Structure 1
Amino acid sequence: MTRVLVYGDSNSWGTPSNGSGVRYDVKTRWPQVIATALGWEVAEENLPGRTTRHDDDMMLGSAMNGLLHLPVALKSQSPVDWLLIMLGTNDFKARFEQDEATIAAGLMALVDCARRVGSGKAGWDDVTPPNVAIIVPPALGKLADDATWERFAEWKGGGAISRRLGDVVRVQAKMRQVPVFDAGFVVRASRADPIHLDARAQRALGQAIAEWLGTL
């Protein structure tokens, strides 16, 4: 059976857009929608607040650093046939002072890391690279650009960067022969929460990614 490792943040973990904090169930979370649609085994290694490669002292410090913890995820979840990376949203926060080029570079650093660590398919210490794909997160919703939003200062400027990210990722990923799926072509952030997806969007994203994976 094909085994997939999804490595992401809150939108992959299943943070709801209604503010309750109660995680979406397995019928709703997009990684598990993939599992059902394709009959594949999907391991979820997702952490709300995770960045591509930055510590975050406003949250859990180095625990938020996706690059630091990817080797642990790959080793603990081996064997891995496919690694799906959906990160970048938290890098839009103003405190990280990132733009679309540096965020894309962070995603490429994750790709390079995965290829060094390997998949473990022929045994725990096997360094044969897994197949890697990048899921570009959807752009932040319009509310992120509204100065009256209570979290505006935290995400200031992030909306514009988020809308430019996909084009830059595609260019950088092409050089590494990494397939890219742009979630923004399928779903949008909730109107009430410009960061997260509602339940319908979660399911739609999972179905669309499953169909895309079937063509690779």
Structure 2
Amino acid sequence: MKNILCFGDSNTWGYTPITGERYERSNRWPGALHNFLGKLFHIYEEGLCGRTIANNIEGRAPRSGKEILPVLLESHQPLDLVIVALGTNDLMHSFAHSAKGIAENMKELCLLISDNQFITQHQPKTKILIISPPHLAALPAEDQLLFQYGVEKSKQLAAHYQHIAQELGIAFLDAQTIIQTTDLDGIHWTVEQQKQLARALSFKVKSLLTD
């Protein structure tokens, strides 16, 4: 049995554009990934709306991935693969991150995984796969200030993510080459897009975890 942790934001949680309801498990990319991979793989879903790589959001429970991930790594041990799908919420204007700065935070998050004592002691062969999110699409008026300059920065993330993946010797996937963010709200994904990403991921995961 191969154990995989899927760690992400609202698109990992399964946020439905416009309504905000949650997709059924089989329609969320982690659940669809399990269906593509089969019974020899176990998927832990850890998606949260508003989650970032390194920042909290005022008035909400902790959203920083760097704060919660070490706990989840211990909770879900042993792990063969950690998939990190974050970066969209980090584009919020209030955080004032450049695309390069977001990638540097992603690098620190990945080092939290590789340096985690439970992983180094018990599962040193745990692999890491980072996914750069698809570009933001046209945003509704209420989100344009929230993500001011976000569309432009979202188009720069993949190159920076790929660079740190090469630097750290971890796996990388550019989601923009597989799906595009829906025009319904400019941020989230349809069921079809969730499943398209899961299908592409299934091939990537099998190549990483084939003994």
TM-score scaled by length of structure 2: 0.93
Distance change (3 Å), C-alpha of 1:118 and 1:29: farther
For 1:164, the equivalent position in structure 2 comes to 156
The amino acid that maps onto 2:12 is S
**How far did residue 129 of structure 1 move?**
5.3
- Distance in 1 between the 2:112 and 2:184 partners? 36
CA drift at 1:7: 0.6
SS in 2 for 1:74: helix
8 Å CA contact 2:78–2:122 kept in 1: the answer is no
In the alignment, residue 130 of structure 1 is paired with which amino acid? T
Q: 1:13·1:48 contact (CA, 8 Å) conserved in 2?
A: yes
Q: Which amino acid aligns with 1:126?
A: H
Partner of 1:113: 112
The CA deviation at 1:77 is 1.2
**1:67 and 2:66 aligned:** yes
Partner of 1:53: 54
Q: Count residues with an aligned counterpart.
A: 206
Is 2:136 the partner of 1:140? yes
Task: Give CA deviations for 1:152-203 in whole Å, capped at 9, x if unaligned.
Answer: 1101100000001001111121010011001110111111111100111001
Instruction: State the superposition RMSD in angstroms.
Output: 1.6
Paired residues for 1:27-42 under 5 Å: 27-39=26-38, 40-42=41-43
Moved >3 Å (runs of 4+): 118-121
Partner deviation per Cα, 1:39-70 (whole Å, 9 max, x = no partner): 2100011111011011211533xx10100111
Q: Does 1:131 align with 2:127?
A: yes
C-alpha change, 1:99 and 1:58, in structure 2 (3 Å) is farther
* Alignment-mate amino acid for residue 32 of structure 2: V
Q: Is the CA contact (8 Å cut-off) linking 1:81 and 1:119 kept in structure 2? A: no
* Cα separation, 2, equivalents of 1:72 and 1:167: 29
- Contact 1:117–1:129 (CA<8 Å) still a contact in 2? no
Q: Give the CA deviation at 1:107.
A: 0.9
CA distance 1:93–1:26, shift in 2 (3 Å)? same
Contact kept, 8 Å, 1:119 with 1:129, in 2: the verdict is no
Partner of 1:6: 6
Q: Report SS of the residue matched to 1:34.
A: helix
Alpha-carbon deviation of 1:212?
Answer: 1.8
Output the amino acid matched with 1:128.
P
Counterpart amino acid of residue 132 in structure 1: I
Q: 1:212 to 1:128 in 2, by over 3 A?
A: closer
